[in-house]
Amino acid sequence: MSGAILARGATLPSGERADVLIDGGIIARVGSGVDAAGATVIDADGLLALPGLVDLHTHLREPGYEQSETVLTGTRAAARGGYTAVFPMANTFPVADTAGVVEQVASLGRAAGYATVQPIGAVTVGLAGERLAELGAMASSRAGVRVFSDDGLCVADPLLMRRALEYVKAFGGVIAQHAQDPRLTEGAQMNEGALSGRLGLAGWPAVAEESIIARDVLLAEHVGSRLHVCHVSTAGSVEVIRWAKARGIDVTAEVTPHHLLLTEDRVEGYDARFKVNPPLRRSEDVHALREALADGTIDIVATDHAPHPAEAKESEWAAAANGMVGLESALSIVHETMVATGLLDWAGVARVMSQAPARIGGLAGQGEAIEAGAAPELLLYDPEPRSGFSIDRLSGRSRNTPYLGIDLPGRVVAVVHGGYATVLDGALRPAEEVAEAARHAWNTPEARHG
C-alpha cells in the first residue's frame, strides 16, 4: 500500500485530463502517457482529481466521549468522504485546553493514519469563558496549534475575546468564534419566525449571531488580528462579513453543507436529526449563503461533523442534542448546491474545500494544487451516479445524519493520503494496513525533520 500509485486519465479541476503519479512521498508526475512499473494503477477515466479535502471544523469526541466517535472512527469517516485532513474541535473531556491534550489527539491521528489530525485548542480554560487557556503552550507544542475555538459556546465576554485576539497575533494564530449571544438564545430551539411560533418552539433570532460577528470584526480590526467565523447561517451575517472584508478586516468565514441545503421547514416533523446549532434557517438565508460562498464572502465549507449516540437524538425535540454527522456527505452536497446550480466550478470546489481551509488553518502539505512536487494528498470523485443517501455510506460511530433518503450526486472512488491509499474503489482500506502505511510514512527522514 505504500508503493507508487498511478491515477490514469483523471480530469483535473482545470478540466484538463492527465495521469497523476504519486511516488516517493510526493506527486511525482502529472501529464499524459505517464507510466510506472509496479505502481497500483487506478482507472480514473471519467473521474475528477481534486486535492484531498480539508475540514476546518470537525468533532472527533476523543478523549471523553468515545461512545459517539473516536479519532480512528472519525478519520475513517473523513477518508470515506474524501478528506485527508481534519481540525477537531476542543470540546472533549478533558477539554483540549493544554498542550498535553492536543498532543494526545494529534498522536492518535498519526497512529490511525486515515487523515492528518490538526487539533484546535480551546480559547478559555474548560470552555468556561472566564480566563484564557494555554494558547502559547498549545501553539509551541508538537501539535503546533494555530486555530483556537470554544465552539459549542461563544466567547461572549468582549474583553476576553479582545485578549485572545491579541495573544494569538504574536504567532499567527486565529480565533474561530461560535457566534451566538447566550442571552438572546436562552432556551432557543429553532430559527425564530412564523414557523417557530406555529410549532410552539422557542425562537433563535438571527441577530444573536449577527451581533456577535459585528462586535468581533470590530475587535479584530482594533487589534489587527485574525478572526474566523464558524458556521455562518444568516443573510444578515453575510452582509456583516462582506462589509468587514470591504473594510480590509482580516476575517474569514465558513458555511456548513447542511446550511447550504436544508431549511427550517425540516423541523415541522419534530425529527431531532434536524436539530443543530446554529439552527436551520429560511430559504432566503440558504440562497444568501450559496451566493456568498460563490463570490468569496464566505471562504470555505466546513462540516461541523457532530456525532452523537442514538439516545441523544432519538428523543423529544427539546431534550435532543444539537448536531449532525456530515463528513461522508459534504462533497455530494456541495456538488448538488453549488456545482449543479452553476455557482461554482470544480476549481472553486477545490478552493473552498481544500486550499482555503488549509491556508486558514496554517496546515502545510494540504490543499496544494495537483502538480509535480506537491504533497501526495489526492481525491478521485465520480460525479455521475446519483443515489439516496443511506446508512451504509456512514463509516463513523454515530448515525445522526439528516440526509437519509435524500437523493445526492457523486461517489468518492479513491483517496490518497501521505502517499498511500486510504480508500480504493469506494471502500476504506483495512485499519491495520493504513496504520502500517502511516508508520512507514512517519518514519521517513522528511517526516521526522519536517
Question: pLDDT (tens digit, 9 = 90+) per residue, 222-246?
Answer: 999 999 999 999 999 999 999 999 9
Give CA–CA dist 31/17, Å, rounded: 8
Give CA–CA dist 208/233, Å, rounded: 11
Q: Establish whether 304 is a catalytic residue.
A: yes
pLDDT at residue 446, rounded to an integer: 44
Phi/psi at 394 (nearest 5 deg)?
-95, 140
> Which residue ranges form the domains of the chain, and what is each CATH number?
5-49+375-449 (2.30.40.10), 52-361 (3.20.20.140)
> Which entry of 304, 345, 392, 425 is annotated as an active-site residue?
304
Give CA–CA dist 124/131, Å, rounded: 5
Give CA–CA dist 336/349, Å, rounded: 12
Q: Is 59 annotated for ligand binding?
A: yes
pLDDT at residue 441, rounded to an integer: 85
Q: Is 228 annotated for ligand binding?
A: no
Q: Is the pLDDT of residue 447 over 70?
A: no
Q: Is 216 annotated for ligand binding?
A: no
Give CA–CA dist 102/336, Å, rounded: 35
DSSP letter for 324, please: B
Q: Is the pLDDT of residue 448 over 60?
A: no
Give CA–CA dist 444/450, Å, rounded: 10
Q: Is 392 annotated for ligand binding?
A: no
The region that residue 248 occupies, defined by phi over 0 for left and psi between -120 and 50 for alpha, beta otherwise, is left
Give CA–CA dist 61/69, Å, rounded: 5
Dihedral angle sign, alpha carbons of residues 241, 246, 247, 250: positive
pLDDT at residue 408, rounded to an integer: 98
pLDDT tens across 64-120, in order? 999 999 999 999 999 999 999 999 999 999 999 999 999 999 999 999 999 999 999
pLDDT tens across 354-403, in order? 999 999 999 999 999 999 999 999 999 999 999 999 999 999 999 999 99
